[in-house]
Structure formats: structure tokens, C-alpha cells
Structure 1
Amino acid sequence: MKCLNCGNAINNNLKIKEIFLFKEIVPNYICNLCRQELAPLAGRNNCPRCSKPESEGICSDCRMWDDKSGIINCHQALFEYNQFIHSYFKLYKRYGDVLLARLFYQDIKNWSLRNHFDVVTYIPASKSHLQARGFDPVYELYADIFDLQSLLIKVDADKPQAQKNRNERLRTPQTFSALPALNQIQKEARILILDDIYTTGRTLMHAHDIFLTAGFQKISTFSLSR
């Protein structure tokens, strides 16, 4: 097998417990050389609310949201946003290399096996972005791992989040509304909302508010990068 990012060969040697204990084998699509460019968040002194790296307690972002409109208390992420992650999303989203959706399959799959929810949904692309790209990048990133339910619809904003500075992101108005399927879910359900990148938290906060307003209390969020 070759790395989906650089094309180098990947050595997927099976461990003894995978062979003899019939443990689920989770395929790997990223080579060790590329993996060395990543900055995993696990085991670091991250914000306990949003996983912002090296925060030494509640981070300034979360304290800001406390002052404004509440807080996402249960956000988890796998990797710190760095140059490798930036380049990855540039190829994946801007240039439409949809095959890269599986680059982090093993990492996301292993996380999903340790964390369980009743309902898993995702931040959808707006209609214009879907038409421009031809695919929904957040959906494709997670579709092979989770049983995703489409519960939100997103209207087009004035311009993409990636083109906004921090203050513009924070001022972005609510762009989500609930689809009818949301009304069919029991209010006691444990909800997980998926996104690709957590920057200021504005996007996930808006999505979180839709579920909170609908009467859900057990709401968690997850992103590949923070």
C-alpha cells in the first residue's frame, strides 16, 4: 500500500493480537515519514474544553465564549493545526483531491472505537460550496467510519470561513437550521457533531446551538485538527 499523501510505501505489519485474537484490522493510509510531520494532541496539556494545545487550563477562546454565549464543553481533536495539516486541507478541499479523505482513516477510526454516541452528524457544506467542489469534504472525511445522519442545512455566508480573519469569524451570524429528521431523535440521545478544523469554534458553536435549542443536552463535538 502507498501513502495517499506522498506515495511512499506503507508497511502494514500485523501485530500478534490482531492475528490471533481476531482484533479488527484498521487500515493505514499515511506513511511514517508523513506522520512525523503531525503534532498529535493526545497526552499534552490541552484545554479541557476544546483541546486547544498547550493551554495550561481553560484557554482564552473558551473564556471568551463564556462571556458571550456559553461554551462547548466536550470538544476533542486529534492533531494540532500546523503546516502539514494546512497543506493537506489545501489539496483536499481547495484542489478537490477527494481521495485524501482517507488519509487519516486509521486515526479517526481508532478514536471512534473508543468513543460511542447514539447519533453522529456533521457540519455540512453550503449549496454553493457543494456545487463548486463536487463533494462535501466533512462528510467524505468521516462517512466510511461513522453512521452519519444529515440533520443540519447550511446557508451560504458572505464569504468562506477560510477567507476570514479571526474577528470576522467570530462575528459570523448563524448559518445553520435543522432538518426535519432532527425532530425524530430522542432528546436523551448522545449527540456527536463532526467538523474538519476547529479554529475559533464559531462554526461548531452555531451547530451546537441548534441542538441545544431543540432540547438536547448531551452534545459533543470533534474535529480532525485544532
Structure 2
Amino acid sequence: MISNCLNCDDELIELMSWRGLFYREPQFLCYACDKQLVKIEGKRCLGCSRSLDDLAQQLIKGDVCLDCHRWEVDPEWKGILHQNFSLYRYNDFLKEYLAKYKYRGDYVLAKAFSHTIKTYFTKVDYDLIIPIPLSDERLYERGFNQSTALLEEAEVRPSNILARSHSEKQSKKTRSERLQQEQVFQLVESVESDLNGKSVLLFDDIYTTGTTLRQAAKLLREAGAEEVSSLTLARG
């Protein structure tokens, strides 16, 4: 049982509530840290989950943001990714938390999101849930795939049928470079028959430009998947 905050190491003090008398959620962050995890609420883009409440009107096209509108008017990418749903805002706190989790190898930090991810999956249904993979080089460097670990902590069994070729870190690329990169994903085996007519959910930690998710979705659609959506922990 975890008795100290995973982020700041302060002692966890249980806050009593009427709801808590009947249903007790696992606690991994102290109140001060937990309140800095901000869930996306209000009106959001139906394409990528970006909060529309924060956008200037000229950056909104109907029910989607301008970025998603541009993806959908491009014949190559139209309809490739059905929809992305993100759980949290990528604020300074979450940025630092995920950096500690991903780049310093602090695997246990994934526990902080297990309940939220698990709750999401009680409301949706997909044939396959596929984490975005790391290249072999990046996996060796980090020691674990952050997306796979998040799913496993939430007791979600992933289907690891994608492989990824090595490239420069996404965080070091400009937006333009991300949008122009070549296909980096491959199917790890002949799974076309397993994908035919299936609904697929991709999972990743952060949605930034949507390029990575759309590349993976395009490969899966070409292999026979009926529909590909995505879930990300944060919307960058």
C-alpha cells in the first residue's frame, strides 16, 4: 500500500467524503499534487479533444479546431483517425510529471493514472487496444514503453502488433518536421486477417500534432481495420 505521494513524497492523508464512505478510489498523489492534474472539461474539439473554450473563434471550424479541419480536408488523411479523446490538459505539472516518468525511468508513477484510464474503458468497447510502440533503440534507452505501462497499470491488456523504426525524438522535432515525416510503423507479423472489420483504439501518452497517431491509424486501416480511434493521457 502506497502511503506517500508518488510525486512529492508527502504523506498521503485520506480526505473523507460521503462518496468515500461507499466507494474508495486508490490514492497515489497528495491533494496538492492531484489538484494540479486538470481534466479536460467543457466544450472540446470532436477530432482531437482540444478545449474549444480556450481557442480564438478563428481557430474553430464548426465542432473541430482548425488543425483537425486541415487534416480532414487533406484527401490522404481524411477519415483515417476517427477521433482522439484525451483525459488531461498538458499543463506544466503534467509535463514535469511525465518527464520524470518517461525519461528518468520512474515506472511506478504510472499508477497515478490507473483509475482514470480504467474508468474510461468501462464506458467504451474496442476489438483491439494498441499502444504506440517505441523503436528498439528508444526502448533500450528508457527500459520500458510508457504507453504500454500505463495500460498495464490500469489492468488493460494491450495488443502489441505494431513496431516502430528508429527516428529522432518527437520532442526535438518542429511541428513542420513532424507533419512531414515518413511512415515509421510496421505490423510485427501478418495480422491482416485479425484486423479485418475490427474497431481499434490506439493509446499514447500525449497528442501533439496528431501525426504519430494518424500514421499508425493509416497502416491499420490499410491492413483492414474498419475504424481507428485513439486515447491519450494528455492533449498537448
Verify same fold: TM over 0.5: yes
| Structure 1 portions without partners, runs of 5+ | 19-24
Structure 1 residue 178: deviation in Å?
Answer: 1.0
**Equivalences for 1:110-125 in 2 at 5 Å?**
110-125=119-134
Report what 1:22 is aligned to. Answer: none
Q: Distance in 1 between matches of 2:173 and 2:30?
A: 33
- 2:133 is equivalent to residue 130 of structure 1: no
Give the aligned residue type for 2:43: N
- Deviations along 1:21-80, one digit per CA (max 9) or x if unpaired, are xxxx652322221122122113x1110111011255310110121233224232101011
| 2:67 counterpart SS class | helix
Larger CA deviation: 189-198 vs 67-76:
67-76
- From the superposition, tell whether residues 101 and 181 of structure 1 become closer, same or farther in structure 2 (CA, over 3 Å): farther
Report what 1:53 is aligned to. Answer: 51
- From the superposition, tell whether residues 174 and 186 of structure 1 become closer, same or farther in structure 2 (CA, over 3 Å): closer
- Deviations along 1:113-138, one digit per CA (max 9) or x if unpaired, are 22222211110111110111111111
TM-score, normalised on structure 1?
Answer: 0.89
| 1:180 counterpart SS class | coil
| 1:192 counterpart SS class | strand
Structure 1 residue 83: deviation in Å?
Answer: 0.4
- From the superposition, tell whether residues 10 and 48 of structure 1 become closer, same or farther in structure 2 (CA, over 3 Å): farther
Give the aligned residue type for 1:155: S
2:185 to 152, 176, 180: 176
Give the aligned residue type for 2:67: D
Q: Is the 8 A contact 1:196 1:225 kept in 2?
A: yes
2:78 to 70, 75, 93: 70
Report what 1:147 is aligned to. Answer: 157
Report what 1:162 is aligned to. Answer: 171
Structure 1 residue 176: deviation in Å?
Answer: 0.1
- 2:14 is equivalent to residue 11 of structure 1: yes
Report what 2:96 is aligned to. Answer: 87
Report what 2:28 is aligned to. Answer: 29
Q: Is the 8 A contact 1:122 1:150 kept in 2?
A: yes
Q: Give the count of matched residue pairs.
A: 218
Give the aligned residue type for 2:46: P
- From the superposition, tell whether residues 186 and 90 of structure 1 become closer, same or farther in structure 2 (CA, over 3 Å): closer
Q: Distance in 2 between matches of 1:12 and 1:116?
A: 33
Q: Is the 8 A contact 2:85 2:231 kept in 1?
A: yes
- Deviations along 1:193-212, one digit per CA (max 9) or x if unpaired, are 10000000000000100111
TM-score, normalised on structure 2?
Answer: 0.85
| Structure 2 portions without partners, runs of 5+ | none
